[in-house]
Structure formats: structure tokens, C-alpha cells
Structure 1
Amino acid sequence: MGLKIGDKAPAFKLKNQNGEVIYAGEYLGNTPLIIYFYPKNFTPGCTAQACSFRDQYQDFLEAGAKVFGISSDSVESHKRFREKHHLPFDTLADKSNSVRRRYGVKGNLLGLIPGRETFVIDKDGVIQMKFNSMAASQHIPKALEVVKSF
């Protein structure tokens, strides 16, 4: 079924592009979070989405938000992806798709392609926006609009 607007966002632990464990529980309940799930590093849509988050990153920071990108790619792939595109936020490796499942992010094309979904979580840890669309460019303005409303 997945999470809905108004639900508490579940905490999770994943490794970032440097192999460091990131514990979302450190942020949930005190910092607005943008968590976006995407299919795969280095694909055209995912690259465009990551670079759009990069280009708007200062706006997210000014709104007090932390951004995390999550895919099932390896730590090493995340490191290369982040370095190549100069991403200022952590990309997290969900190799087992366990966090993707906890958040209820469904695949597309009969489940063959991992879904693209963005969650905006307020400083109290409550989901305020859930946006599911393979149109990568639509995620950033919607997330920014919501986080600026806090």
C-alpha cells in the first residue's frame, strides 16, 4: 500500500557514496527532508533529475531541508555518479530495495523499472508530499514549493 501524506516517515540506515552509514532518524523529527527514489544512476532521466536537484540545492538549503537521493545502485556507482555530476547531496545505496519497499515505492512498466517517487517530510517527521511520476523534471519544483511552505 505504501505511505500516505500525514504518515510518519520511517527511519532507515543506508550507506552513502563514501560508504558512510547515514541514519535518517538523526534528521526525522527536527529537519525537513526531501527523499527521492530514482531508478538508476547514469540513465538520462535520473541524471536530469539529480542535476535539477543539484541546480536548486541552494533553494532547498535556504528552506532548511536536507536532500537524499536513493537507488539500488552500489556505493561505488553512487560515488562515480555524484562526482561526475558534482552533486552536493548524499546519494544512498538501497541494494536490497528494503527502504524502497518500506516507503511503498512501486516499480513502473509491470515492475521492471524501479519507480521514481519524491517524499517531502516536515521537521516533525510527517510526510507532507508524495509525488510519483517518471517525468523527472516535475519532482523538483513540486518538492521546493512544499518545503518552502513550512
Structure 2
Amino acid sequence: MRHILAASLAATMALAAPALAELDPGDAAADFTVSGFQAGEAVSFHLAEALATGPVVLFFFPAAFTSGCEAQAAAFAEAIDQFTAEGATVIGVTGGNTDRLAEFSTQHCASAFPVFAIEEGMARDYDARMMMRPGWTNRTSYVIDQNSTIAFSWSEMSPYEHVDQTLAAVRALNVE
């Protein structure tokens, strides 16, 4: 009986855990075009075009209007001037609550950067699918260099270190 209970618990934990696999530095970043919002206005984004002007910080968050995602978006908004000073473009992407992204872009992103809805293919390409909530994305942040290569990745469900980690990685690119 104890073995059955332990196996059941292990299976439940595996299904409940987010997928924290991410692409590694040196991996190719898949090109993509997405639609979303900045300051409540519809915008689109094409990775290859953005990389022509500098690195891109691509952060996946589970869903708009969830407490961790609100904190993460606010932290990126507060640091946007630092990213801009380093020549980086910051974008947020999610698969969850995408019908509310226009409102989220003004309230929690402070209109400082755009947020986009993704499709399953992009979540798969960037290893950002959340296993416990199909359709949602896990919390993974990438720095993509101008060669369309992953320079840095950080997967952690806590929203609090993503800004510091990606900003340090962008700064390291500028030192090289």
C-alpha cells in the first residue's frame, strides 16, 4: 500500500510541477512574430527585426493578472531604463489570460514594454510549456544576442530574480 501511495504522490508531483527545462546558452533562438499590446495599443513584434538593433530580453510568464506575473511585469517596467541604456529590447509573452493583455500592458507593465500572446509552437520552441496548466507558459527568461543565439536563460517560478539575472546577462554581452 505504501508503494502505491508513494508512486501516486510522485506522479501527482510530476504533473503539478512546471516544466523548468529551458534552452541553453549557445542554442539557436527560433525566429517568431507575435501580436500583442503596449500601452493598451495593438502592436506586433518580429524577433529578427528587433535583433538588428540589439539583444532581446524575452520573458515568459504564466498568465496576465496573476500575482507573480503582476510582480514580474512591474519589476521589468521599473528597470526598463536600465535595459534601454544597454541597448536591449524587453518583451513579455504568455499563453494565459491572453484576452486581457491590453489591460495588463497598461496596469502592470506600466506601458513600458509590450506583452504578447503566444501559440503552442513558440512555447515548445523555447521549452516554456507549463505542464500543470496546458496552454500557459512557465516563468523562463532569455537573453537573445544579435546573432539570434541564446546568451542566457533563467527558469524559476519565483518572479523576483528575473530582472536582475537578465540585466546582468545583457550587461555581460556589452562587456564582451
Report the TM-score, using the length of structure 2 for normalisation: 0.76
* Greater helix content: 2
Deviations 1:69-128 (A, max 9, x none): 00024665111001123131110111x322111111132xx5326310000112222111
Counterpart of 2:115 in structure 1 is 91
Q: Secondary structure at the match of 2:71?
A: helix
Give the TM-score normalised by the residue count of structure 1: 0.89
Instruction: Name the counterpart of 1:5.
Output: 25
Structure with higher Rg: it is 2
| Counterparts in 2 of 1:145 and 1:57: CA distance versus 1, 3 Å | same
In structure 2, the gaps of 5 or more residues are 1-20
Amino acid at match of 1:92: F
Aligned length: 147
Aligned to 2:58: 35
Q: Identical aligned pairs, as a percentage? A: 26
The whole-number CA distance in structure 2 between the counterparts of 1:100 and 1:31 is 23
CA contact (8 A) 1:11 1:28 kept: no
**Structure 1 range deviating more: 122-131 or 36-45:** 122-131
Matched, 1:15 2:35: yes
Structure 2 match to 1:135: 158
SS of residue in 2 equivalent to 1:149: helix
CA contact (8 A) 2:63 2:98 kept: no
Name the residue aligned to 1:26: 49
Closer, same or farther in 2 for the Cα pair 1:13/1:124, shift >3 Å?
same
1:139–1:120: structure 2 CA closer, same or farther, 3 Å change rule? same
Give 4+ residue runs of structure 1 displaced > 4 Å after superposition: 73-76
